[in-house]
Every structure is written in C-alpha cells, then in structure tokens.
C-alpha cells in the first residue's frame, strides 16, 4: 500500500506545501551507488548539487562519501558548508564570474570544468594574481543527442555548453602556453533524464576516439568526467525507487577504455535525489467545471515548476482518501494557465483538506522554487523532522 510510506498522520498539522525527503530511501540509493561504483577501479562519484541543495539532504549525501559537482559560487559555499571536502569538489558552468573563480581558487577545489578559451584565460589570470595554479578539465561538447526532453539535452553542437570537438586541440595547445593552469582531464555531459544506456555507450565511443587521438599527440589525461544524466522512473516511484546503477556503471566499465591509473568521474543529480522527495500539498477546493473537475491544491508552479516548464510527469496520490477514484485536473493557485500539475488523472475522490503527494520531486523541485506572486518558498523536511 503506497500511502503507507508516508507519515501522513504527522503531516496533518504541518503547514503545506512542503517537501518531504525520505532519508531511508536516500541512504539506500547512496548505498547502491557506492556498492556498484566500487566494483570498478577508478570510478569516482560526485553529487550534482544543482538537483537539490537542501542542507539536510546535502549532509546525508556528503556522509556517504560522494564528492560535489557545483555550477556556481553559491553551490560551492553550500557544498563546503554541508561538509563536502574542497578536494572532492568540481566547478562547472559556461559563465563563471570572477568572484566565483576566486572563491574556488581560495578553497583549492579539485578541478574547474572549463567551457571556453576566454574563460581559461581569466582563470589563468586570476590564479596568477594569487600565485597559484588551477587544475582544469575541458568540457567537450561531444555532439551526441540524448533521447530526452529538448530543454534538458546539452551535448548537441547547437547547445551553448562546452568546447566544440574541432576546437579541442587548439584549446589544449592554448592551455600549454598558460603558466597558471594545469590541464588534467576532459569533461562531458550529454543531458538529463536519460534511460537508454545506448546514449551513454555512444558517449563512451566518442571518448575512446578522442583519447586515441590525444595519445597520438602524446597527451595523457589524468581523469575523465562523464557528467550525470541517469534518469528515474517517474511513472513507478514505488516499483523502481532506486535507479539501476548497476546497468549504468557497467555500461561505462564495458565501453569506455580507461587507461592505467586513470580515474572516471561521474556527476549524478536526479538519480541520487529524485525518488526520495515528495511535494506534499493540501486540497483547497474541488471545483466542478463544465466538462471536468479540478482539484485546486495549495502548491503551485512556484513550488514545483517541472510540469509547467518541461511538461514533466509527476505521479500524484491522494493520501487522505480511500474512496473510489474520480478524474481530476490537479492545478495550483498561481495566476498562470500553465500552473497545472496534471490533467485528467485518476485520484481517490478528493475533498477539501485532503493531502496530496506529488511524487519523484526530490530533484529540481525545491531548488527551482520561486517567489512569484509573493509566495513563500516551500519548506523541506527530512524523515527525522517528524
Ligand atoms: N553535470 C552537468 C554538467 C550538468 O549540467 C548536470 C545537469 C548534471 C551533471 C546532473 O545531471 P542529472 O544527473 O541530474 O541528470 N532542471 C531540469 C534538469 C536540468 C539538468 C541540468 N544539468 C529538470 O528538472 O529536469
């Protein structure tokens, strides 16, 4: 019985909407990641902080020993505050500002994932001023399409991310002329919510070609970083609460030709935190329309923007009713017609006050919340808070 997985009685007096993070599931997920990655030499897993930076969640992830993947100075600060060591922190992003680069240099992070020559030159200049050397990996755009939503595919030539394949050699040559950067690896990321292992295999093949090409030029890489992207099962959060990390890591182990002593870094976000998070919201009104009925809930697109922004599916359950199902459009209170969580879904008959669970919302949920309509940001609670 799926409703049993939530402490619904304890939710009753809590102000809604809020995010509920199931730390038992999070720990189980992290154990699976660690177990499966440990079966392969040189695999190093970072958590992509952008998916969820709730301090309590970060703390659990950091305790499991993962490194951090950050895309802003704020994320670096959040990761370090939660306890992630700087020596396991990488910093990516197409537009790093000077203060962010300086912060990363001061903290002596593991590596910058660099996306252009102008950025490389600024990192070199800022590192020179501090009398230090920045370790850099180049983010290469592998021109591989992932089978996912157009807004979250990143590895195509048309995307703003990374350095074009044909420019890789000249960027490496440029780095060799700069005294305050040390070129140590290559970085890739082809997209998010990827469930077809063939996409990752295609990335492996591309990387093998690039490595062979660089070796001809006597360039050896200390590490490779293949980003994140492993998807979750939004339709079956109960049946598949933990993603198939075995298939994921095995794909890389089988297809990517790692050199002796070379390390392979991963930056997983959604697969780590997606399934353990649920947006809990209260039904305000059940409204009968001409052709349909609406369950109007107190969460809106300001709390979880994924359905409005990406037409993303999130399974919804009525936690308070056992009555026979009826069909509803579940909508929020925001003054936008796109403030819809789901259309024509079957839920146990809804009443004012019923608690609804919007599932698989641990990744890119709370962190993407906004204050539009002068709304309060949703709270985030972990199991131990109840
Ligand atoms: N590494 C890099 C360089 C990335 O750009 C991303 C995600 C990740 C790692 C983590 O990817 P993941 O393992 O979570 O797929 N807001 C969108 C997803 C945006 C993903 C951005 N980059 C959503 O709600 O679906």
Give the C-alpha separation, 178 to 181, whole Å.
6
Average pLDDT of 233-257? 98
- Rounded to the nearest angstrom, the distance between the alpha carbon of 17 and the centre of ligand 1 is 24
C-alpha distances in Å from residue 255, one per residue of 23, 209, 244, 359: 33, 12, 17, 34
pLDDT at 66 over 50: yes
Cis status, amide bond into 17, omega within 30 of 0: yes
Write down the mean pLDDT value for the chain: 95
The residues, ordered by sequence, that sit 6+ positions from 167 with a Cβ below 8 Å of its Cβ are none
> What kind of fold does domain 8-18+276-385 have according to CATH?
Lyase, Ornithine Decarboxylase; Chain A, domain 1 (2.40.37)
**Is 270 assigned to a binding site?**
yes
**What is the position in ligand 1's atom list of the atom closest to the CA of 268?**
13
Give yes or no for residue 256 CB within 6 A of ligand 1. Answer: no
- The DSSP code sequence of 19-62 is EEE-HHHHHHHHHHHHHHHHTSTTEEEEEEGGG---HHHHHHHH
Average pLDDT of 171-177? 96
Residues 312, 306 contacting (CB under 8 angstroms): yes
Q: What is the tens place of the pLDDT at every residue in 310-363?
A: 999 999 999 999 999 999 999 999 999 999 999 999 999 999 999 999 999 999
The residue contributing the CA closest to ligand 1 atom 5 is 189
Confidence of residue 1 (pLDDT cuts 50, 70, 90): very low
pLDDT at site 198: 96
- Rounded to the nearest angstrom, the distance between the alpha carbon of 269 and the centre of ligand 1 is 6
- Rounded to the nearest angstrom, the distance between the alpha carbon of 191 and the centre of ligand 1 is 7
Residues 327, 239 contacting (CB under 8 angstroms): no
Confidence of residue 5 (pLDDT cuts 50, 70, 90): confident
Confidence of residue 143 (pLDDT cuts 50, 70, 90): confident
Give the C-alpha separation, 14 to 90, whole Å.
37
* 374 flagged as catalytic: no
> What kind of fold does domain 23-274 have according to CATH?
TIM Barrel (3.20.20)
Domains in the chain: boundaries: 8-18+276-385, 23-274
pLDDT at 266 over 90: yes
**What is the position in ligand 1's atom list of the atom closest to the CA of 364?**
24
Give yes or no for residue 189 CB within 6 A of ligand 1. Answer: yes
pLDDT at 287 over 60: yes
Average pLDDT of 276-285? 98
């Amino acid at each position: 019985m799926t409703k049993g997985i939530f402490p619904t009685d304890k939710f009753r007096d809590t102000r809604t909407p809020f995010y509920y993070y199931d730390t038992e599931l999070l720990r189980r997920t992290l154990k699976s990641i660690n177990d499966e990655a440990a079966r392969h030499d040189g695999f190093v897993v970072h958590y992509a902080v952008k998916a969820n930076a709730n301090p309590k969640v970060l703390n659990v992830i950091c305790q499991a020993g993962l490194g951090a993947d950050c895309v802003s100075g704020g994320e670096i600060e959040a990761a370090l505050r939660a306890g992630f060591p700087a020596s396991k922190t990488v910093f990516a992003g197409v537009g790093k500002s000077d203060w962010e680069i300086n912060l990363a240099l001061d903290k002596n992070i593991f590596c910058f994932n660099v996306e252009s020559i102008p950025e490389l030159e600024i990192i070199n200049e800022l590192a020179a001023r501090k009398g230090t050397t920045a370790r850099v990996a180049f983010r290469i755009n592998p021109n591989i399409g992932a089978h996912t939503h157009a807004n979250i595919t990143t590895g195509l030539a048309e995307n703003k991310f990374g350095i074009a394949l044909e420019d890789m050699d000249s960027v490496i040559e440029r780095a060799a002329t700069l005294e305050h950067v040390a070129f140590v690896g290559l970085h890739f990321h082809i997209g998010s919510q990827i469930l077809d292992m063939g996409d990752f295999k295609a990335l492996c093949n591309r990387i093998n070609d690039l490595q062979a090409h660089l070796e001809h030029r006597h360039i050896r890489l200390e590490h490779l970083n293949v980003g994140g992207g492993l998807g979750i099962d939004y339709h079956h959060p109960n049946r598949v609460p933990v993603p198939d990390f075995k298939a994921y890591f095995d794909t890389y182990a089988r297809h990517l030709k790692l050199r002796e002593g070379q390390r392979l870094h991963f930056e997983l976000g959604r697969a780590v935190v997606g399934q353990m998070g649920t947006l809990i919201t209260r039904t305000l009104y059940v409204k009968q329309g001409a052709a349909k009925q609406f369950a109007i809930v107190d969460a809106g697109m300001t709390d979880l923007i994924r359905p409005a922004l990406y037409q993303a599916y999130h399974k919804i359950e009525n936690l308070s009713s056992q009555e026979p199902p009826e069909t509803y459009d579940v909508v929020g209170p925001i003054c936008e017609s796109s403030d819809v969580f789901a259309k024509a879904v079957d839920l146990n008959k809804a009443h004012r006050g019923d608690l609804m669970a919007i599932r698989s919302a641990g990744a890119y949920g709370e962190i993407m919340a906004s204050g539009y309509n002068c709304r309060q940001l949703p709270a985030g609670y972990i199991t131990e808070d109840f």
